[in-house]
């Protein structure tokens, strides 16, 4: 899993995507402290314990470094930054049935804007899966030699003997 680099000073315009989300009735905003359990459990149920742990960390910062996409009181997707390391984007995920509508992209770009507003010129996408998504959505480029990166030697849950 390689890391990717993004130019935070050269991000695409968010307005057309915000208009599309408005049209679809989807709200994309930072999560609130009171929503911590709901969001972390949602991530654990759909993805895994490691991502839930990273999402949880985001709720210990102010501002909370986790964006969520919501419609009709349901979470459709989430995106974190400053979770594994400062200035790292991820984890992120969209409900399977809601993919392909631009939710992943707006969650990514809103997070990258927040990272830029903290004063960073470049952002890092940590341990990517779908590199094509990040290339397309944010012109991200792979960081040579970054695999294995920060997750080398990661503990995983081993079933009891
Ligand atoms: C990756 C993920 C967040 C994308 O969310 P999404 O809402 O389906 O993505 P979007 O609809 O915003 O896609 C934005 C663009 O990226 C493209 N894209 C989406 N997934 C892609 C992929 N896996 N590879 C290449 N391009 C992809 C879309 O076609 C779209 O292109 P367009 O702007 O030309 O229409 C979602 O597929 C997901 O939750 N995957 C499982 C979890 C995961 O892998 N997270 C990332 C870990 S690093």
CA distance linking residue 145 with residue 88, whole number of Å: 17
Per-residue model confidence (pLDDT) at position 156:
83
Which CATH superfamily is 4-142 part of? Gcn5-related N-acetyltransferase (GNAT) (3.40.630.30)
Cα(113)–Cα(27) distance, integer angstroms: 17
What separation in Å is there between the alpha carbon of 151 and the centre of ligand 1?
Answer: 22
Please say if the pLDDT value at position 24 is more than 70. yes
Q: Is 33 helix (H, G, I), strand (E, B) or coil?
A: helix
Q: What is the mean pLDDT of the chain?
A: 96
**Residue with CA at minimum distance from ligand 1 atom 23:** 130
* pLDDT (average), residues 77-99: 98
Whether ligand 1 lies within 6 angstroms of the CB of 16 is answered as: no
Residues 16-44 have a mean pLDDT of: 98
Of 60, 64, 62, 44, the C-alpha closest to 52 is 44
Q: Is the pLDDT of residue 55 over 90?
A: yes
Instruction: Tell me the pTM.
Output: 0.97
- Say yes or no: CB of residue 149 within 6 Å of ligand 1: no
Instruction: Measure 160 CA to ligand 1 centroid, in angstroms.
Output: 36
103 lines ligand 1 (CB under 6 A): yes
Q: What pLDDT, on a 0 to 100 scale, did the predictor assign at position 113?
A: 98
Say how many Å lie between the CA of residue 105 and the centre of ligand 1: 7
Task: Using pLDDT thresholds of 50, 70 and 90, give the confidence band for residue 161.
Answer: low
Answer whether residue 80 shows pLDDT above 80. yes
Band of residue 159 on the pLDDT scale cut at 50, 70, 90: low
Summarize the confidence of residues 85-112 as an average pLDDT: 98
């Amino acid at each position: 899993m390689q890391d990717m680099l993004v130019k935070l000073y050269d991000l695409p315009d968010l307005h057309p995507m915000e208009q599309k989300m408005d049209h679809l009735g989807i709200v994309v905003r930072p999560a609130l402290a009171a929503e911590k359990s709901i969001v972390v459990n949602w991530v654990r149920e759909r993805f895994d314990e490691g991502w839930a742990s990273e999402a949880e960390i985001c709720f210990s910062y102010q501002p909370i470094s986790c964006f969520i996409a919501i419609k009709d009181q349901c979470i459709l997707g989430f995106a974190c930054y400053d979770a594994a390391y400062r200035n790292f984007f991820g984890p992120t995920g969209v409900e399977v049935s809601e993919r392909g509508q631009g939710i992943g992209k707006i969650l990514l770009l809103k997070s990258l804007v927040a990272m830029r507003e903290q004063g960073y010129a470049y952002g890092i996408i940590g341990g990517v899966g779908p590199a094509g998504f990040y290339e397309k959505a944010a012109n991200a480029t792979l960081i040579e030699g970054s695999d294995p990166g920060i997750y080398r030697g990661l503990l995983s849950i081993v079933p009891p003997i």
